[in-house]
Amino acid sequence: MSKKQHTQQFVQSIQNRKARYEFEILDTLVTGIQLFGSEVKSVRLGHASLSDSFAIIHHNEVWLENMQITPYEHNRMEIIEAKRSRKLLLHKKEIQKIQTKINEKGLTLVPLKAFFNSKGLLKIDLAIAKGKKLYDKRETIKKRENQRQMEQIKKQY
């Protein structure tokens, strides 16, 4: 396989599609993430998932929990756990600002997507979010269906 063909297999970003449905997004920020080299290779190939993942603040550090990164198949070093805790890289002032917002009732940190920036570094788009109630979810579905119907009507004319 040539180098050109090999690079076309890389994934642009990994989305957490459930997050926007289950949470109301209040604020977003971009963070770095601390990974091993083989984990980065696995993410580049698209062997990662953000579903059911969340972030917590522990001892003034932000940790990403439940992010699934399938171990890289050609890794010759030690075996790495697929759902281990991964440290998110933020400044202390940012962490303190997030901590004050999270102390409000019902707010949580949810990753929206993982992507590679222009320098080739993996970044996580992290959101401060509030959980939606069942009626809010129904309202979201109604809006989406109405939008689809409007698009179909526009195509007809």
pLDDT per residue over 104-120, tens digit each?
777 999 999 999 999 98
Question: Residue 113, SS3?
Answer: strand
What residues have CB less than 8 Å from 28, skipping those under 6 apart? Answer: 112, 125, 126, 127, 128
Question: Residue 50, SS3?
Answer: coil
Looking at this protein, which amino acid is placed at residue 81? E
Half-sphere exposure of 106 (CA within 13 A, CB side): 9
- Strand pairing class (107-116; 13-15): antiparallel
Tell the CATH superfamily of the 3-132 domain.
Small protein B (2.40.280.10)
Q: What is the mean pLDDT of residues 66-85?
A: 81
Q: Is the pLDDT reported for residue 93 higher than 50?
A: yes
Cα 69 to the chain's mean position, in Å?
12
